[in-house]
Structure 1
Amino acid sequence: TIKTPSPRIESYSKVDPTKLVDTELKYGPYENLAAFSFSPFIVHFEDNQPFAVVKELVREIEISHWGNVQITENYHLFHGGARIKGGFSRIEYQARPNARGASSFKSLVARLPPRAHSVYYRDEIGNISTSHLNADS
């Protein structure tokens, strides 16, 4: 059984018996198959949810003679989900908050140690559009 995030399934491999109901695609049951046999299949469905992918992560840890620890993490993060059609307009994106694409990142959450301080973050060109640093209770 394959459960998709959306009922919009564009296409799928039909290997009898196959049953499609709403967001669930059920294959089988199958009988009299040789051990370790397999059959590749394809399911093409809509998924406009954000899909954060870290292509590269570099963590540098520096310990001073006085016992201070500085940790610097550099993430090469990108959206690996649905691609935008046409060009991106920051003005249009911010002017129409209710019309924003479902696949854009609304937020990214990082859990830090309780005593973390002097936290900074920025994107590839040095900007962050909005940011919040909250302490858990």
Structure 2
Amino acid sequence: MKNRNKYSPDFKLQVVKEYLNSDKSLSDIASKNGIPSPHTLHKWVKKYEDSGYDDNIFNSKKGRPKSIISDISKVPPFIYESAGIVKPDNNSNDTNSLKKKIEYYERLLIEKELLIKMQEDEINFLKKKHNWKK
């Protein structure tokens, strides 16, 4: 497998701007800056142009976004209460506590599935009653 070069966001932006502000070709700018393929530079230029020339375009993170809650210990207790969850303490890893949580969420899931099924039945009943077509 080929080693992939990693370039910093600042380097990408600097090279793209250098290309856009000069009369040199993609190949010339790429080789001058140690980029093995002009195609790589072309992709960066396209990404920059498609972003509306946003200088932060190369600073975006890849992959799944992290949770909006960076530190679970800072979640206010009322959030847990509104969800019907007992706020965990630091020693909540015991088996009984985990079993209770699983049972709670299983019950919640079954209730939600039952509500969906009832709503689907009601919709089907109304469709038949009013001769609605799908």
Bin the TM-score by the shorter chain: under 0.3
Q: Which has the higher contact order (CA 8 A, sep 6+)?
A: 1
Select the structure that is richer in helix: 2
Q: Which has the larger radius of gyration?
A: 2
Normalised by the length of structure 2, the TM-score is 0.17
Select the structure that is richer in strand: 1
